[in-house]
């Protein structure tokens, strides 16, 4: 019901989204549905013929078994078992993997076996791993084995093996000291720089600083194309701005901890650092964050990533929409008048007024 208002074909939408235009932009559920629709499985539709053949074979085998048990025939017909076995093996081979419809078959070939082709690649950005590294807690990473370099002429296979822990946090903390790398945040570093496992020859390749476990086997270089960092952080470490109670100089118990968690995550993402002391003022992440925010609002130069506050605001808008957003009312329900009122006894959720939603750019200078 109501699909007659949204199921209008659009060449532009079909070209951009590579799917039909049965979507409503603005509702995350419909956008998610659009994504699932472009990657839906065609296994059930394309395997109906195989299923019908299999059911016919099963009925034939059951009828043959009843005839043998009743004594109508003494043995299986010559070649019958062999033929059935070959047919079942062929059907099993044809239906053991997902069947891809013809419109998508060429895409799998063009995209190297992938159904989707994004405008940018993705790379992980692990906030918890960096936090563990800065606080000297056990860090999870990849244990790699490399051959020790030597000036002696020893065959590669006979060289000594070196085991070292590979982690994304070490790549950023021990990044080269250059003008391009020294003053960038972890978000920018992940987006524009990468680590490779080759020799250090070349002007566009920079060695990691002393202290990096794999500095003898890896180098740092600028990416040919920028990627999108896929950020992973602890739950509730980036809460809604309204939960920070920013306007209150003396917040209630527990909010100070929430502020510190929010500020630490934001600074780890968008502020350049090499040690934990670079992220705090008098041991407080929140004071450091507020200093950088005031500089941004006054158009004063700040080391904080230029688009960092914009990204934080987008995260808050998303959380606000998920918590307080309301779906558009169905067109038929909106125009239909119910003559009988049914009281279900459930309380209606109070909608958040527009003036209650906070914007990061509206913070006062005296906070």
Q: Which helix (DSSP H) or strand (DSSP E) does residue 123 occupy?
A: strand 122-126
- How far apart (Å, rounded) are the C-alpha atoms in residues 274 and 308? 18
45: pLDDT confidence band, cut at 50, 70 and 90?
A: low
The per-residue b/e assignment along 278-303, b for 16 or more CB within 10 angstroms, e otherwise, is: ebbeeebbbebbbebbbebbeeeebe
Give residue for tokens 């239909």: 336
Q: Could you tell me the two tokens for 333?
A: 């329900």
Q: Could you tell me the two tokens for 31?
A: 């956008």
Higher-scoring residue by pLDDT: 126, 336: 126
**Torsion sign over Cα 307, 312, 313, 315:** positive
367: pLDDT confidence band, cut at 50, 70 and 90?
A: very low
pLDDT tens-digit readout, 292-319: 988 988 889 899 998 999 999 998 888 8
Q: Which helix (DSSP H) or strand (DSSP E) does residue 88 occupy?
A: helix 80-95
Residues of the chain above pLDDT 70, percent? 65
Q: Residue 91, class by beta-carbon neighbours within 10 Å (0-12 exposed, 13-18 middle, 19+ buried)?
A: middle
Through-space distance between the first and last CA atoms of the chain, rounded to whole angstroms: 51
Q: Residue 268 CB: number of other CB atoms within 10 A?
A: 26
pLDDT at 36 over 50: no
Q: Could you tell me the two tokens for 166?
A: 């590979």
- Across 204-219, average pLDDT: 87
Kindly write down the DSSP assignment for every residue of 127-159, as one continuous string.
HHHHHHHHTT-----EEEEEEPP-SS---GGGS
Q: Could you tell me the two tokens for 233?
A: 């952080």
Give residue 16's region: left, alpha or beta (phi > 0; psi -120 to 50): alpha
Range 254-262, long-range pairs (CB < 8 A, 24+ positions): 256/286, 259/286, 260/284, 260/285, 260/286, 261/234, 261/236, 261/237, 262/237, 262/238, 262/286, 262/289
HSE-CB of 131 using CA atoms within 13 angstroms: 17
pLDDT tens-digit readout, 180-195: 898 999 999 999 999 9
Residues in the chain, how many?
A: 367
- Across 191-210, average pLDDT: 78
**Any idea where the domains of the chain sit in the sequence?**
3-40, 44-110, 122-231, 233-325+356-367
Give backbone dihedrals phi and psi of 14, rounded to 5 degrees, phi first: -65, -35
- How far apart (Å, rounded) are the C-alpha atoms in residues 316 and 310? 10
Q: Could you tell me the two tokens for 30?
A: 């419909």
- How far apart (Å, rounded) are the C-alpha atoms in residues 310 and 293? 11
162: pLDDT confidence band, cut at 50, 70 and 90?
A: confident
- How far apart (Å, rounded) are the C-alpha atoms in residues 129 and 169? 6
pLDDT tens-digit readout, 252-278: 888 889 999 999 999 999 999 999 999
């Amino acid at each position: 019901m109501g699909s007659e208002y949204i199921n209008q074909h659009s060449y532009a939408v079909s070209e951009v989204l590579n799917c039909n235009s049965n979507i409503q932009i603005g509702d995350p559920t419909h956008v998610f549905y659009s994504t699932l629709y472009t990657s839906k499985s065609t296994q059930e539709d394309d395997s109906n013929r195989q299923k019908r053949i299999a059911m016919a074979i099963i009925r034939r085998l059951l009828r043959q078994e009843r005839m043998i048990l009743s004594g109508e025939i003494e043995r299986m017909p010559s070649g019958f078992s062999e033929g059935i076995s070959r047919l079942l093996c062929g059907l099993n081979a044809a239906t053991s993997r997902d069947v891809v419809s013809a419109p998508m078959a060429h895409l799998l070939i063009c995209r190297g076996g992938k159904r989707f082709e994004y405008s940018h690649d993705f790379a992980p950005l692990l906030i918890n791993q960096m936090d563990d590294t800065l606080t000297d807690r056990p860090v999870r990473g990849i244990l790699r084995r490399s051959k020790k370099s030597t000036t002696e002429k020893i065959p590669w296979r006979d060289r000594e093996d070196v085991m070292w822990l590979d982690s994304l946090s070490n790549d950023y903390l021990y990044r080269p000291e250059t003008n391009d790398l020294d003053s960038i945040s972890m978000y920018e570093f992940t987006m524009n720089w990468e680590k490779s496992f080759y020799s250090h020859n070349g002007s566009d390749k920079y060695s990691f600083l002393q202290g990096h476990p794999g500095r003898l086997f890896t180098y740092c270089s600028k990416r040919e194309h920028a990627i999108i960092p896929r950020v992973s952080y602890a739950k509730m470490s980036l809460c809604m701005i309204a939960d920070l109670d920013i306007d209150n100089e003396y917040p209630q118990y527990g909010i100070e901890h929430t502020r510190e968690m929010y500020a630490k995550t934001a600074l780890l993402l968008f502020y350049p650092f090499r040690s934990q002391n670079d992220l705090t003022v008098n041991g407080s992440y929140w004071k450091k964050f507020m200093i950088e925010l005031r500089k941004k609002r006054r158009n004063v130069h700040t080391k904080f990533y230029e688009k960092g506050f914009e990204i934080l605001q987008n995260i808050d808008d998303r959380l606000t929409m998920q918590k307080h957003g309301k779906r558009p009312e169905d067109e038929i329900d909106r125009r239909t008048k119910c003559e009988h009122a049914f009281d279900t006894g459930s309380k209606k959720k109070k909608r958040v007024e527009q003036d209650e939603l906070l914007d990061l750019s509206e913070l006062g200078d005296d906070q």
